[in-house]
């Protein structure tokens, strides 16, 4: 880990960030980019460290993107802590932080949207209509602003990484996508900025999500081929936590996210659960033995 405590340069405008990055690019330096919504935790920092190890310059964006939240969602209360985030990024030796405001990203008259069909439609796409349109639009904007060589995403948002992969391919963006493993708390809960919403009781109950994924893995490794049976057992574990509400428990093809009929090869188990009104997602790749 870097003990370099030089604070990253903070940029609020597209113009100032581009001016900063121009000499790096002119000198053939590799630029790594980690897009975030702030409230940084070890999951984000694992992406930052990968970028620092593999590139000459690392840019982190901190922007809570309004267009990926539905009116009923938690945009207003989403955790924001720019000072704390900058402190963490200083320790990692990040070169630049881009923290625009909404008018910088969506100036008056903004009216262009990026929609990725197919992989954006099931799971999160069904539960959060319009979510991936907002994600895809802001990601393309950020890619155009930063113009990185490599970008880093976490596997916790598995479907999001498929959407980003698709748009990079379809729009011929000269960017390498790196998806890094989910970082977990000691009890298995996937690290998420939204975990901060949970009361101690709900935080304790949230461990059923990881337990359900571990059970799915055990069942599949023991030879269970029926997605319906695995899902039934997973739901049982999740609903053992009082007040837990399931948005979905799905076993899907890792490339297309289509439901699988029989578990024959690598299969993604994806889960979205609400506890005390807080929505948590997680996933695990299930691999049958042999």
Residues annotated catalytic, as ranges:
44
Residue in the block written with tokens 């975990």: 195
Task: For residue 172, give every residue at least 6 positions away whose Cβ sits within 8 Å of its Cβ, in sequence order, or none.
Answer: none
DSSP 265: S
Q: For the chain, how many residues are written?
A: 290
DSSP 178: E
Q: Which of 125, 130, 187 is nearest to 157 (CA)?
A: 125
Alpha-carbon span 184 to 53, nearest angstrom:
21
Cα 275-279-280 angle, rounded to 5 deg: 95
Task: For residue 205, give every residue at least 6 positions away whose Cβ sits within 8 Å of its Cβ, in sequence order, or none.
Answer: 241, 242, 243, 244, 275
Q: Which of 225, 249, 226 is nearest to 236 (CA)?
A: 249
Taking 3-state DSSP, the helix, strand and coil percentages for the chain, each rounded to the nearest 5, stand at 40, 20, 40
């Amino acid at each position: 880990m870097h003990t370099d405590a030089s604070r990253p340069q903070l940029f609020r405008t597209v113009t100032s960030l581009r001016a900063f990055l121009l000499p790096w690019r002119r000198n053939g330096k590799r630029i790594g980019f980690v897009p975030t919504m702030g409230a940084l935790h070890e999951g984000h920092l694992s992406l930052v460290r990968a970028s620092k190890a593999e590139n000459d310059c690392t840019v982190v964006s901190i922007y809570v993107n309004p267009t990926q939240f539905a009116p009923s969602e938690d945009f207003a209360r989403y955790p924001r802590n720019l000072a704390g985030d900058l402190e963490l990024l200083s320790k990692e030796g990040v070169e630049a932080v881009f923290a625009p405001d909404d008018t910088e990203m969506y100036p008056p008259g903004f009216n262009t949207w990026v929609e990725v069909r197919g992989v954006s439609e099931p799971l999160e796409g069904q539960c959060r209509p319009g979510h991936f349109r907002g994600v895809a639009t802001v990601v393309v904007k950020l890619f155009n602003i930063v113009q990185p060589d490599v970008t880093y995403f976490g596997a916790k948002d598995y479907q999001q990484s498929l959407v980003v992969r698709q748009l990079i391919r379809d729009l011929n963006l000269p960017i390498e996508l790196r998806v890094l493993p989910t970082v977990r708390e000691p009890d298995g809960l996937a690290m998420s900025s939204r975990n901060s919403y949970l009361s101690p009781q709900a935080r304790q109950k949230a461990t059923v999500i990881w337990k359900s994924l571990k059970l799915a893995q055990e069942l599949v490794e023991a030879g269970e081929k029926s997605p319906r049976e695995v899902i039934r057992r997973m739901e049982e574990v999740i609903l053992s936590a009082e007040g837990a509400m399931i948005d979905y428990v799905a076993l899907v093809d890792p490339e297309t996210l289509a439901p699988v009929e029989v578990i024959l090869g690598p299969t993604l188990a994806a889960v979205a659960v609400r506890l005390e009104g807080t929505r948590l997602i997680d996933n695990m790749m299930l691999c049958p033995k042999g």
